[in-house]
Chains A and B, each alone.
Chain A
Amino acid sequence: MSFRAPVVVIGIGSDFRHDDGFGPAAIHALEKSELAAVDDVELMVLDGEATRLIEAWRDRRLAIVIDAVVADSPAGTVHRIDVGSSNFPPARHPSSSHRVDLPEAVELAVALEVAMPDLVLFGVEPADMSLGPGLTPAVSASLDKVIAEVITCATAQP
C-alpha cells in the first residue's frame, strides 16, 4: 500500500479569478518553503468540489484548507476556523458542486461515515473575485502571514 502523508494542505480556488486564487498561490509558495521537504505533509490544489475534498481527507490526521472566504471583513483579513468550533458555518443546502462549500463536504463525509481528520481552515477576505490573473495588493500582503501559520500548524506535534 502506498504511503499517505498524515497531513494534507489543500489550496482551493482558481488562479484566473484574482483573489479566488489565494489558495493556489499559497500552495505554490509553500512548495518553495521548508514544508515541501517534510515527508509527512502533502501539498495540493483542488477546485473545492466536495467529493474530491473527501477523498483528499481520507486517512489523514490533519487537513488544512486555504481558501478565499467572504466574511464581510476588510480585504486581506485572515480567518482561522477549526471545524467543529461554534463559528464554523452550517452547509447551505443545496449548493452547486463548483461552489466551494466546505461545510457541505464535511456533512457529506460525516453522512458517509468517512473518518474525518482534524480540519483547519485558513481563509482570507478577498477584494476582487472577477476574471483575471493575480492577487490584489491587500490579499497578496496576507500571503506571508498565512504561510507562516500554516507551517506552524502542519508541523505541530499531535
Chain B
Amino acid sequence: MTHRPRSRALSTGALARVEGEGAMHIVIRDGVLEDVQLNIYEPPRFFEGFLRGRSYLEPVDITARICGICPVAYQMSACGAIEDAFDLTIDPAVRDLRRLLYCGEWIESHTLHIHFLHAPDFFGCDSAIEMVQGHRAEVERGLQIKKIGNEILETLGGRAIHPVNVKVGGFYRTPTPRDLRPLREQVARGLDLALEVVQWVATLDFPDASFEHELVSTWHPTEYPILGDRITSDRGLDIGADVFLEHVEEHQVEHSTALHARMLERGNYLVGPLARYGLHSAKLGPMALAAAKDAGLGDVCRNPFQSIIVRAVEVLHAFETALEILDNYAPPSSPAVEADIGAGTGHAVTEAPRGLLYHRYSFDEHGIITDAVIVPPTSQNQGTIEHDLWHFVEDHLDLPDDELQRAAEVVIRNHDPCISCATHFLDLTVDRT
C-alpha cells in the first residue's frame, strides 16, 4: 500500500466541467478531514439590487441574463411572481406554451450535462473531446438532441440565448399550429433519441452511495413538476410559494459570498432531478416511467452518481410532454393578458433544470420594484454538496492527492451545480498539513 503523509496540501486550477465557476477548499489535518467549503459568489444578489427601482416589465428580460444555460427558468419564475402580485390569471394555452418552452431548456441543459460534463467521468476522460475518441456516436447523438431543445427555445422564445418573446401575462407573439408543425417532427425524432440515451447511461458503472437528504420540489396534482403550484418534501413539507422564506432560512457563511439555504429546524436539503424524481416519479410520462424502470431505478434514487440516469429520464419526459402539448395545441385567444398594476408582493417557484427556483417581488402602486429576492437551486444545494463531499473525502483519505481531487470533482458534478447562477470562478484546493 502506498504511504500517504498524514498531513498534506495541494491546490489545483479551475474545477472542470461544471456550469460556471467557483471554489472548493478541503482541509485535512493529521490525517483527519477538518473542513470542506464550497466558495461561490452570487450574481443573484447583484441582480436583486439592480432590479430595485425598475418597472415590473423588466425582471423577465433582466433575470434571464443571470445564466446562459437556464434563462427560461428565470423568466418563468419572474413571470409567475409578478403575475401573482397583480393577481393575473394566465390562459391555459399560454401556460402550455410556457411548459413547452421550459421543456426545451430541460432538454438542452440536461443533455449538455449528460454528454459533455458528466459522462466523461464514467469513461475516465478529462473532457468530451477525449470521450469522442471512443464514443463519437453517443456524443453526436447528444448534439442532435441538444439542437432540438435549442429549436424549441428559438421557435417559442425568438432565440435560444436569453429568449426575447416572453412577457408578463404571456408572450409577445404566440405561434399558429402551422408554425409548430416542423417542430413536432423534430420533437418526435428526439423522443427516440432520448430513449436511447436512457438505455446508454443505464449501462454505466456507478459507485455505491446513498444519502438521506430531504427531497424538496414543487408540486402539481397531475404533472411531473415543471411549473408547480406548491412546494413539498418527503418529510412533510407542503407549503405555498408565499411562505417559502418562512420555512427556508438563508444564511451567510464566512467562506462564501453566496447565501446558503437550509430548512428551518431540519438543515440541508436537496433540490433538482433526484428530488423531483424521488417525489414525483409516478407522474412521469409512460415512456419515461417505463425507461426508468428498465434502467433499474426504483421509485426513489438516492445515489447521486446515478443522477445521470435521472437526467436522461427527465429529458425523455420533456420530449413526451412537448409532444403532448404540440399535438393538443390551440392558440390562446390573446398572446398575453395585461396586468392591472397596483402595490403588492408576489411569489413563484418553478423547476429549473437544477431544481427549485424562487422569485419574490414587491411593487409600489406604479408597478415599480421596491424589493426583489431570488433563491437559485445551486444556493439551496450548496450545503448538501458539501455534505456529500465531506463523506466522500472522509472515506477516501488514502487516495493520492490527484485522485482525491478528481474524485471530489465528480462528487460535485453529480449535482450539476449551475454555479454561473451563483459564482464567477471555481478553484479546487486540498490542504493537507
Contact = CB atoms under 8 A, between A and B. Distances in A.
Interface of A: 14-16, 44-52, 54-55, 91, 93-99, 104, 107-108, 111-112, 131-133
Nearest to B418: A98
A15 B120 CA distance: 32
Contacts of A112: 132, 136, 139-140, 143
Given A46-B161, A49-B68, A52-B160, A94 B16 contact: yes
Contacts of B69: 47, 49, 97-98
A102 to B, nearest CB: 13
Contacts of B419: 98
A98 B112 CA distance: 11
Interface residues of B, number: 40
A50 B128 CA distance: 11
A108 B68 contact: no
A125 B419 CA distance: 25
B426 interface: yes
A15 B126 contact: no
- Lowest 10 A-B CB distances belong to which pairs? A47-B68, A94-B16, A111-B132, A131-B46, A94-B127, A98-B20, A98-B420, A94-B126, A93-B127, A108-B129
A44 B164 CA distance: 13
Given A93-B127, A96-B14, A96-B20, 4 more contacts: A16-B50, A95-B14, A97-B18, A132-B46
B146 interface: yes
A111 to B, nearest CB: 4
Contacts of A15: 65
Interface in B1-31: 14-21
B16 A51 contact: no
Nearest to B46: A131
A54 B143 contact: yes
Per DSSP, are chain B's interface residues mostly helix, strand or loop, or mixed?
helix
B21 A108 contact: no
Nearest to A16: B65
Interface in B129-146: 129-130, 132-133, 136, 139-140, 143, 146
Contacts of A54: 143
A94 B129 CA distance: 9
Given A50-B116, A96-B19, A97-B19, A104 B127 contact: yes
B116 A97 contact: yes
B116 A95 contact: no
B75 to A, nearest CB: 15
Interface in B415-433: 419-420, 426
A91 B16 CA distance: 13
A21 to B, nearest CB: 10
Interface in B158-196: 159-162
B117 interface: yes
B147 interface: yes
B117 A97 contact: yes
Interface in B39-62: 43, 46-47, 50
B306 interface: no
6 contacts: A44-B159, A97-B18, A97-B19, A98-B20, A104-B129, A112-B140
A14 B421 CA distance: 13
B230 to A, nearest CB: 32
Contacts of B146: 51
Given A55-B147, A98-B69, A93 B130 contact: yes
Contacts of B112: 49, 51, 97
A107 B129 contact: yes
